[in-house]
């Protein structure tokens, strides 16, 4: 190779690094737009304008608004999932199942309160005309996988409430309705624990959404106290 020439691999690495940096800038600017205008109003042209780029330059990274929305969903789901996994891993050593449940639920809420517009992107109103593609499923599953893992550990510990006298029989038509969740969770959990886990999971997100979107104004004075009480009542339901 002649002196002064850049090796092809080094040139590729530099291009890849530059592309990653610009992609990160576009996503950061788009997330700022979510805070100002919401997901439905997200515009590639507006993002390009704020970055001092031409629209055609941004289109080379994200060919459409839907591609940008997908990248945002993947990024935000992964961010929330990574935080929750790290918190649970730190609590797993020596903490009870009940305390780990509290840690996960409180982490989701605290993250939502710190990132309300990101939370709204994930769990708020659907964006008209947009359907999340398959590539969002893995990132979106990180929190459910974490909770399913906790339920499995409860089952393996011999404390599965679905196998105790307090268990309720799950009707066949309900079991049929939850086939997708059963496939996701595996054959190990009792039907009753699976149902209780799904009820607890959806209740946590409902409680956060009610608080975040202002539906508890005038009904609750101390949101921390109310949320923590719900989390403990849900732990009772799962018999943690």
Domain boundaries, the chain: 1-63, 71-238
Whether residue 105 contacts residue 229, with contact meaning beta carbons closer than 8 Å, is answered with no
Query: 């732990």: which residue's tokens?
Result: 235
Residues 5, 50: Cα–Cα separation, whole Å: 36
Residues 205, 201: Cα–Cα separation, whole Å: 7
What Rg value do the Cα atoms of the chain yield, rounded?
Answer: 22
Q: What is the pLDDT along the chain (240 residues), one digit of tens a residue?
A: 555 555 656 556 877 888 888 899 999 999 998 888 888 888 899 999 999 988 888 899 999 999 999 999 999 999 999 999 999 888 887 778 889 999 999 999 999 999 999 999 999 888 888 899 999 999 999 999 898 888 888 878 777 666 666 778 999 999 999 999 898 888 888 888 889 889 999 999 999 999 999 999 999 999 999 999 999 999 988 877
Query: 């109310």: which residue's tokens?
Result: 226
- Measured from the Cβ of residue 65, the count of other Cβ atoms closer than 10 Å reads 18
Q: Does domain 71-238 sit in CATH 2.20.28.160?
A: no
- Measured from the Cβ of residue 234, the count of other Cβ atoms closer than 10 Å reads 21
25-29: long-range contacts, CB 8 A cutoff, minimum separation 24: 25/51, 26/51, 26/58, 26/61, 26/62, 26/68, 27/68, 27/71, 27/72, 27/75
Output the pTM of the full model: 0.85
């Amino acid at each position: 190779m002649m002196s002064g020439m850049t090796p092809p691999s080094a040139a590729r690495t530099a291009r890849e690094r530059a592309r990653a940096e610009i992609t990160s800038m576009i996503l950061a600017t788009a997330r700022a737009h979510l805070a100002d205008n919401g997901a439905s109003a997200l515009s590639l042209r507006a993002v390009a304008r704020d970055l001092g780029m031409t629209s055609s330059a941004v289109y080379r990274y994200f060919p459409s608004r839907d591609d940008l929305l997908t990248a945002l969903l993947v990024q935000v789901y992964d961010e929330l999932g990574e935080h929750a996994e790290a918190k649970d891993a730190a609590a797993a050593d020596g903490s009870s199942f009940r305390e780990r449940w509290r840690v996960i639920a409180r982490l989701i809420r605290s993250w939502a309160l710190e990132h309300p517009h990101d939370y709204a992107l994930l769990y708020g109103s659907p964006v008209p005309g947009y359907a999340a593609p398959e590539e969002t499923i893995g990132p979106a599953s990180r929190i459910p996988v974490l909770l399913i893992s906790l339920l499995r550990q409860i089952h393996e510990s011999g404390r599965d409430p679905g196998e105790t006298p307090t268990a309720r029989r799950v009707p066949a038509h309900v079991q049929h309705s939850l086939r997708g969740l059963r496939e996701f969770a595996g054959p190990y959990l009792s039907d009753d624990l699976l149902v209780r886990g799904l009820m607890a999971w959806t209740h946590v997100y409902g409680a956060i959404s009610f608080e975040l979107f202002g539906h508890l104004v005038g009904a609750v004075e101390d949101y921390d106290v109310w949320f923590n009480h719900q989390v403990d009542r849900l732990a009772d339901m799962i018999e943690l």
